[in-house]
């Protein structure tokens, strides 16, 4: 038996097209396009590629892209002043500060300066609190993309046993909150968890966000489980996930590949969040 391969690339393309249509309707109603501002400090090559791809996806979805590339020696005060200007700019619906920031800048100080209503990355503590308490807010893009893939494959998730491996603020914790919101029974595991495989053995849903190449073995999985691999690890063998794909594909019911699984969903969810922000900021209802 071999698992169904979940095609995140195709799903993400459809989502980007849907958002493009929503943005065109928004522009007709509001007299302006939704706008996303992306801020990059320094010249980290991977970050530079991410920012370029985000800009392309934004324009491709009929939105305005405002790119701010600042030198590595930019001071925290200068960066905060830019965030303040973007917060006040009515053409900007969403603000994203690309991480990591240079070490002389305190990330949390910058992230909490972004207006929660323009925080399309969903990293502001106010949005984390909204997610945890069931209020409308912005949900971090990667876990949101994972949830969309899970719902597309499984339908209703209520009652499913879900194990999230990893507890970071940007993936593991919001993922667990989203699964809880869907009425899954959620277990969060991390580096201090004893006998990880004992938890995985009973999991209908596994979301792996660890950062260790091919750590999760097929033999640890429940036969038929749906496995979402968030990991992006650069190895000599190329890009690999946190799940050992070759052994997992023989046991799982469905699995995301790396690359081509969760990765493309992140940017698609970013532009979706920007479209939602634009509607909220302009007071226009969004009913699809
Ligand atoms: P972090 O390094 O912030 O968190 C990793 C988590 O894994 C931590 O909670 C850590 O536990 C846990 N962990 C470490 N070792 C083990 C272990 N042996 N057993 C169980 N848990 C363990 O990573 P991120 O959440 O930011 O990212 C995770 C992966 O996802 C990375 O490969 C990253 O590249 C990828 N990623 C992909 C994205 C995409 O768009 N597809 C977006 C974001 C990330 P503890 O808290 O105890 O240290």
Query: Residue ranges of the domains in the chain?
Result: 30-116, 141-263
- For the annotated catalytic residues, the residue numbers are 54, 98, 121
CATH code that applies to domain 30-116 = 3.40.50.10860
Q: Is the CB of 156 inside a 6 Å radius of any atom of ligand 1?
A: no
Which ligand 1 atom lies nearest to the CA of residue 231?
Answer: 32
What is the rounded distance in angstroms from the CA atom of residue 50 to the CA atom of residue 43? 12
Q: Is the CB of 230 inside a 6 Å radius of any atom of ligand 1?
A: yes
Q: Which residues are annotated as a binding site for NADP(+)?
A: 166-168, 232
Q: Is the CB of 193 inside a 6 Å radius of any atom of ligand 1?
A: yes
Q: Is the CB of 231 inside a 6 Å radius of any atom of ligand 1?
A: yes
Sign of CA dihedral 101, 106, 112, 113: negative
**Host H or E run for residue 83:** helix 76-88
**Host H or E run for residue 176:** helix 172-181
CA of 211 to the centre of ligand 1 (A): 5
Q: Is the CB of 190 inside a 6 Å radius of any atom of ligand 1?
A: yes
From first to last of its 288 residues, the chain has per-residue pLDDT tens of 799 999 999 999 999 999 999 999 999 999 999 999 999 999 999 999 999 999 999 999 999 999 999 999 999 999 999 999 999 999 999 999 999 999 999 999 999 999 999 999 999 999 999 999 999 999 999 999 999 999 999 999 999 999 999 999 999 999 999 999 999 999 999 999 999 999 999 999 999 999 999 999 999 999 999 999 999 999 999 999 999 999 999 999 999 999 999 999 999 999 999 999 999 999 999 977
- Residue 230 CB neighbour total at 10 angstroms: 31
- Nearest in space to 40 (alpha carbons), one of 53, 31, 24, 59: 53
Which ligand 1 atom lies nearest to the CA of residue 172?
Answer: 25
Please tell me the predicted confidence (pLDDT) of residue 288: 74
What is the rounded distance in angstroms from the CA atom of residue 116 to the CA atom of residue 37? 14
> Is residue 96 helix, strand or coil?
strand
CA of 196 to the centre of ligand 1 (A): 15
ipTM of the complex: 0.99
What is the rounded distance in angstroms from the CA atom of residue 89 to the CA atom of residue 44? 27
What is the rounded distance in angstroms from the CA atom of residue 258 to the CA atom of residue 140? 20
What is the rounded distance in angstroms from the CA atom of residue 149 to the CA atom of residue 4? 13
**Host H or E run for residue 69:** strand 64-70
Same fold for the pair 30-116 and 141-263: yes
Tokens found for residue 166: 């990893």
Q: Model pTM?
A: 0.97
- Residue minimizing CA distance to atom 31 of ligand 1: 211
Distances (CA, A) of 258 to 69, 166, 264: 29, 17, 10
What is the rounded distance in angstroms from the CA atom of residue 121 to the CA atom of residue 285? 21
CATH code that applies to domain 141-263 = 3.40.50.720
Tokens found for residue 94: 């969403």
Q: What are phi and psi of 229, to 5 degrees?
A: -105, 105
What is the rounded distance in angstroms from the CA atom of residue 165 to the CA atom of residue 189? 5
């Amino acid at each position: 038996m071999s698992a169904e391969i979940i095609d995140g690339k195709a799903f993400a393309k459809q989502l980007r097209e849907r958002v493009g249509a929503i943005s065109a309707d928004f522009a007709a109603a509001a007299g302006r396009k939704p706008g996303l501002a992306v801020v990059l400090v320094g010249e980290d090559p991977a970050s530079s590629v991410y920012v370029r791809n985000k800009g392309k996806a934004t324009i491709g979805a009929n939105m305005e892209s405002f790119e701010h590339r600042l030198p590595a020696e930019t001071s925290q005060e200068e960066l905060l002043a830019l965030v303040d200007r973007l917060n006040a700019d009515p053409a900007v619906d969403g603000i994203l500060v690309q991480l990591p920031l240079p070490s002389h800048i305190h990330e949390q100080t910058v992230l909490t300066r972004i207006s929660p209503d323009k925080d399309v990355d969903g990293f502001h503590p106010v949005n984390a609190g909204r997610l945890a308490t069931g209020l409308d807010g912005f949900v971090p893009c990667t876990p949101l993309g994972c949830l969309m893939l899970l719902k597309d494959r499984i339908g209703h998730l209520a009652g499913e046993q879900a194990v999230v491996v990893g507890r970071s603020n940007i993936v593991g914790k919001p993922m667990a909150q989203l699964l809880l919101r869907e009425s899954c029974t959620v277990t969060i595991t991390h580096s201090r968890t004893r006998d990880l495989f004992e938890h995985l053995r009973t999991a209908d849903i596994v979301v792996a966000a660890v950062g260790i190449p091919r750590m999760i073995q097929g033999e640890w999985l429940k036969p038929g489980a749906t496995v979402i691999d968030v990991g992006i690890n650069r190895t000599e063998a190329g890009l690999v996930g946190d799940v050992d794909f070759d052994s997992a594909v023989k046991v799982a019911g469905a699995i995301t590949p790396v690359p081509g699984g969760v990765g493309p969903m992140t940017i698609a969810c970013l532009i979706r969040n920007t479209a939602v922000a634009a509607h909220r900021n302009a007071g226009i209802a969004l009913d699809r």
